[in-house]
Chain A
Amino acid sequence: MIRAAALACLALLWLGAAPARSEQLIVALSSEEVRITSNFTGTSITVFGAIERDAATVSRAEFYDVVVAVKGPPETVVTRQKERILGIWLNSASRTFVNIPSFYAINSSRPLSEVTTPQILKRFQIGADDLVFPVSADAGAVSSGADDEFRQAFLRLKREDGLFRSQAYGVTFPGTEIFQTAVQIPANVPVGRYVVMVYLFRDGALLATDQSEIRIAKMGFEQFTFDLAQNQGLLYGVICVILAVFTGWLAGVIFRRD
């Protein structure tokens, strides 16, 4: 079953890339590791790329389109809806989405609808509207459609937090076969492995793809504190209490009047 699915995916990729195997993507990232330290307030990752053609490929009249997608580590999210019961607003209905990217940024050279067909966007899950939203088994449905209000709320809230973002003209071409784009990473970004996907289109057809990875990790003191709190909760709690009593005592000594 899994093998069949994998084969189907390969076949799709091959079909997508088949019309012009001659184009190749060369992608470089401004950094492959983002370090979260105590002065971290967000950053930006620049994706550079070149489109390489072999000598046999004829020069084309149409321009290339490039789409860059950055996907954060998957997470399981509960979306809850408030309802008024006895005059009070409280959380009632909820939907659990499993394996949803915690961060999703998509930059393209033109709006996605102009770059290619809805079929291709759907097939490769390009753009937040075409991501598959699997819901947890207890909710009945297997995945959530585009008109689902929980899905729409999820996208809206993620966009408000800056964790789902898109730039329709974010990819620029300094030369005809060289592109670049900057993906903003906000400060509230989750840590983990991020996948950078680059898609090359011409005339609506997918010519080539490239996949690379960025690691976003807490460093030094931040990492140490987080690990301690997660794995040595008792020790961490005792340290916090000692720190609190010491601070209180110190203030008493400094400001002592009698």
Chain B
Amino acid sequence: MQIYLPIAELPVNMFIIFGMGGAVGFLSGLFGVGGGFLLTPLLIFSGISPAVAVASTTAQVVASSASAAITFWRRRLIDMKLAAFLVASGIVGSSIGVGIFSLLRRWGQLDLVIAICYVTFLGLVGGLMLTESIRAMINARRGRPAPLRKPGQHNWAHGLPFKVRFPRSKLYISVIPIIAIGVGIGALGALLGIGGGFILVPALIYLLRVPTNIVIGTSLIQMTGTMAVATVLQSTTNHTVDGVLALILMVGGVIGAQFGTRVGAVVRGDQLRAMLALLVLAVGIRFLVDLVHTPAELFSLATLTGDTR
């Protein structure tokens, strides 16, 4: 069934978009990530302009992370104080990200920067995750237990000033790395239309040593808050959030996520992480190929408002 999108200004097949939302939702439920990094490229590939794809995915990420966050809220697995710090700095980051987004659109370099960011971050995170999960798999096969976090363990991030106590996470750390992470993820999220969960979760675990059981719920709150602000900012500055597109994606996404979570519960953690790492790497490589490979069409058109058609 074809449906005309009022902001993207083109008709799309509703079931294909719904299916995309569902498939990405399934993967995000399976791996516990937002899925924006998969959805934005899929939308661009199906003919929707990058500006609309990024902004509409932002709204979709709000729905999927809010849905998951409510589950964690019910189980009391959220450090609200840490989340508040992350959301506040994330909002600052979002504003910066949306500003860069409009600027790049005007210069005609938005697609390039999106592609380079995808290659860099997906390649980096995918590579790190893959090596980590393979090491864990080898350890598991040899019968060695995974190294546990020791309570007194510190790294450089714990030596900085402006220390704040986070009772829920049993942490007493400086706010500087927290704010830096929040601003960085917020800017990246607004720029790329991703929640940034796949960067935030490792950052919280390895940099701040937040307990693993609290990390996901806390990062979901950060994503919901930051992406909600990013959605409002995108629609006030760039007017590119397509509500109809976002709604179809949301419904598909939240349904898919429910099934993904169920499948995810029966698959081993290290195998899940290895699969996610391969997926992340594949998307990154796809973007890299597009950047380096000689394109069939060297020219592109954009109306003066900046919208690439």
Residues of A within 8 A of B (CB): 36-42, 75-84, 87-91, 94, 96, 102, 150, 153-154, 156-158, 161, 187-188, 190-191, 218, 221-223, 225-226, 229-230, 233-234, 236-241, 243-245, 247-252, 255, 258
CA distance A48 to B255 in the complex (A): 51
> Contacts A225-B6, A245-B66, A251-B255: A237 and B304 contacting too (C-beta < 8 A)?
no
Question: Is B92's CB within 8 Å of the partner chain A?
Answer: no
Interchain CB contact under 8 A, B235 and A157? no
Measured CB to CB, the residues of B under 8 A from A are 2-4, 6-7, 9-11, 59-60, 62-71, 74, 108-109, 111-112, 116, 224, 228, 231-237, 239, 241, 243-244, 246-247, 250-251, 254-255, 257-258, 291-295, 297-304, 309
- Residues on B with C-beta less than 8 A from A191 are 9
Besides A153-B298, A229-B241, 5 more A-B contacts (Cβ < 8 Å) are A78-B108, A78-B304, A82-B300, A84-B294, A88-B112
User: Could you say which residues of chain A place their CB within 8 Å of the CB of B68?
Assistant: 248
Residues of A within 8 A of B297 (CB): 157
Contact B235 A82 (CB under 8 A): no
B-chain residues with CB within 8 Å of residue A239 when the two chains form the complex? 243
> A40 contacts B11, CB within 8 Å?
yes
Nearest B residue (CB) for A149: B299
Which 7 residue pairs spanning A and B have beta carbons closest together?
A248-B67, A237-B235, A153-B299, A251-B254, A248-B66, A237-B232, A244-B62
Residues of chain B with a CB closer than 8 A to A40's CB:
4, 11
* Distance of A87 Cα from B288 Cα, bound (Å): 11
Q: CA of A191 to CA of B6 in the docked complex: distance in angstroms?
A: 11
For this complex, 16 residue pairs linking A to B, each with C-beta atoms less than 8 Å apart, are A83-B298, A89-B293, A91-B108, A157-B300, A187-B4, A187-B11, A188-B10, A191-B9, A221-B6, A222-B6, A244-B66, A244-B246, A248-B66, A249-B67, A251-B67, A252-B71
Contact (Cβ within 8 A) B66 A225: no
Across the interface, name the chain A residue whose C-beta is closest to B290: A89
Which A residues are in CB contact (< 8 Å) with B233?
237
| CB pair B258 A77 closer than 8 Å | no
Rounded to whole Å, the gap between the CB of B178 and the closest CB of chain A is: 24
Q: In whole Å, how far is A161's beta carbon from the nearest beta carbon of chain B? A: 7
